[in-house]
Amino acid sequence: MKTKSLFFAALVLVSSVALAAGKDEPRRTGMAIVPVKGSEVFKVIYKGESTGKVKLNIYNAEDKVIMAEVFTGVDGFICPLNFAGLQPGEYTIELIDAAGKKIEKIVYGSKKSAKFVHVSKLVNAEGKYLLSVVNAGSNEPINVKIFDAKNNLIHSETKEVDGDFAQVYKLNNVSGAYTFEVSDNSGNLRTIRF
């Protein structure tokens, strides 16, 4: 009796698997935008329902077309987009195919880091933080912004620096977390959170 029950259970399992395998899988169509780690490149990955014409448009924050390309006779592609040299900000990627429009927004920011930026909380000194920047002999100004836990700007200054820079900031009037943002005119940016 036990053997018949096991046989019947196995028969039901095999039947259900066979029925499930016989159904058409849903088509995987659409668009995805993937940033390439450590670079200023984004990959547009597209898979359409059928072979045809696909138009790719990229718009800047002012809704101006900065790139337009048409692909013909394709049902999918991977297209790398290099944003090097473009202003940091929000961009809109638009794909138009026979099924309609697909739109996705991305935020591009410079991936450079300011050289050797360090922030440390001073021990036994309530609310004091030491910011040090090793500028490696460069002669350009640095911008220092400090934000509170709610991302409100609580301090902003530009320092003319000849080489290295260090300064203690007293932040004991504001409670919670802090974010230090250090940038220069070359587009280097470093963000440190406490």
**Position 108 pLDDT exceeds 50:** yes
How many Cβ atoms sit within 10 Å of the Cβ of residue 164?
Answer: 13
Query: Can you give the pTM of this predicted structure?
Result: 0.46
Give the distance between the most distant pair of CA atoms in the chain: 90
pLDDT in tens, 27-86: 456 888 888 876 788 899 998 888 999 999 999 989 999 999 999 999 889 999 988 888
List phi, psi (to 5°) of 55: -110, 130
H or E element, residue 13: helix 2-22
DSSP tag of 138: -
- CA–CA gap between residue 33 and residue 53 (Å, rounded): 19
H or E element, residue 137: none
pLDDT in tens, 123-172: 777 888 888 887 655 677 888 999 888 888 999 999 887 777 888 988 87
- CA–CA gap between residue 86 and residue 100 (Å, rounded): 28
